Amino acid sequence: MDKKDISPMDKIRIALIGYGYWGPNLLRNALGQPRFDVRCVAERDAARRDKLAAAYPDIALESDGLTAIARDDVDAVIIASPADTHFMLAKAALEQGKHVLAEKPMTTTVADGEALAELAEARGCVLMTDHTFLFTPSVRMIKSLYDDGKLGRLSYVDSTRINLGLFNMEANVLWDLAVHDLAILDFILNEEPVHMTVSSHAHLTEESPDLVHLTTYYPSGTMAHFNLSWLSPVKLRRMVFGGDEQMLIWDDLNNDEKIKIYNSGIKLREESQRHVATAEYRIGDISVPRVPTGEALAGVAAHFAAVIDGREESIMDGRRAVRIIRILERAQALLDENRRQIAAAKQ
């Protein structure tokens, strides 16, 4: 079945699949999006369905995701079920000509992701993944500074995403935390890494790393390093963008000074290329732009609506989502190799 066009006069009728940890936030923001008419929520757990019925008597409830997707009064589905069900549900939706917004990761393999991307293109449907950070004012501001040349050529990115705790029981620290960094870098640089290295440590269980250092190299010359950990006594969410014009630090936990732009850098003096002795430092002013506040998920919902309406180009379509899964797959392979090497070295 091919996609039906939705007139700007009509609302986009939505089904939400899965009402777990993240579900209430998605529902609240879907309800808040003027283009959306939330018709149905599918949730396996009866107790959660009862709660939903009490709070939202006008929304239809289903116990099964496929039934919700198949409803005649549904134009688009938001998939918030466990990651390993995304492919099956999204495939069903796209085959019925319905638009899809899936939680990250879109699928658990590149092959599944590519199949969905092809299917979406064949049916003319929107296929989008909720990489929420792309919709934060901070990432938008960094992207815009970079595109405007304010940072210059990006020499390196150094990210620290560490805290105490295992919030995600389905994924290791790579799939749970690195996925954010990789989506942000993909969005800002619009490049795929040509080389990667990984080192890791497994504290809690031997099988699954809870501390990973991932380095990615991009064709344009940028090197990015990601420090990812569930074992840190303090929580840090901090990315440094080392441009050759200016440098930028995004400290996502500092509400008053989220972004700092340093007019600092190092260059070789013209007259003496190759001589370290004549490196030229510049330490200048710092500026701290005011970053607007606002919930990222509202932006995700608005973008999904706008892409369905044809008012905006997708910044996170199926092909792009696959690119991020491909990096995760490659990183996972390197990580497995790293674990083997460490084990061998210790014998």
Smallest gap from Cβ 168 to its own copies, in A, equals 9
Interacting span for its own copies (CB under 8 A) from 113-121, 126-134, 283-291, 321-329: 283-291
The yes or no reply on residue 276 touching its own copies (CB under 8 A) is yes
Q: Which stretch binds its own copies (CB under 8 A): 102-110, 111-119, 285-293, 305-313?
A: 285-293
Q: How far apart are CA 41 and CA 264, in angstroms?
A: 51
Give the tokens for residue 290.
Answer: 């005011």
Structure-token match 């905006």, residue found: 312
Work out how close the CB of 265 gets to its own copies at its nearest, in angstroms, rounded to a whole number: 8
Indicate whether 53 belongs to the interface with its own copies (CB under 8 A).
no
Interface stretch with its own copies, choices 14-22, 72-80, 81-89, 239-247 (CB under 8 A): 239-247
Is 195 a binding residue for its own copies by CB under 8 A? The answer is yes
CB of 345 to its own copies, least distance (A): 4
If residue 223 lies in a helix (H) or strand (E), which one and from where to where?
A: strand 223-229
Instruction: Please name the residue that has the structure tokens 């039934």.
Output: 67
Q: Which stretch binds its own copies (CB under 8 A): 58-66, 115-123, 164-172, 310-318?
A: 164-172
Given candidates 7, 47, 148, 233, which one binds its own copies under the rule CB under 8 A? 233
Nearest to 70 by CA among 40, 28, 115: 40
Instruction: Please tell me whether residue 223 binds its own copies under the rule CB under 8 A.
Output: yes
The reply on whether position 175 binds its own copies by CB under 8 A is no
Q: How far is the CB of 143 from its own copies (least distance, A)?
A: 18
3 state DSSP class of 156: strand
Residue 122 has a CB neighbour count (10 Å cut-off) of 11
Q: Which residues contact 92 (CB under 8 A, 6 or more apart)?
A: 66, 69, 70
Do 287 and 260 touch, CB atoms closer than 8 A? Answer: yes
| Residue 132: strand, helix, or coil | helix
Q: Which residues contact 210 (CB under 8 A, 6 or more apart)?
A: 166, 172, 173, 201, 202, 203, 204, 229, 230, 231
The reply on whether position 148 binds its own copies by CB under 8 A is no
Q: Kindly state whether residue 311 participates in binding its own copies, applying the rule CB under 8 A.
A: no
Give the residue with the Cβ less far from its own copies, 51 or 213: 213
Assess 32 for contact with its own copies (CB under 8 A): no
CB distance 177 to 171 below 8 Å: no
| Rg (the chain; Cα; Å) | 22
The Cα–Cα gap between 337 and 11 comes to 50
Q: Name the residues that contact its own copies, by CB under 8 A.
A: 155-156, 158, 164-166, 169, 194-195, 197-201, 203-205, 207-208, 210-211, 213, 215, 217, 219, 221, 223, 225, 227, 229-235, 240, 242, 244, 247, 249, 256-257, 260, 262, 264-268, 274, 276-277, 279, 281, 283-290, 338, 341-342, 345-346
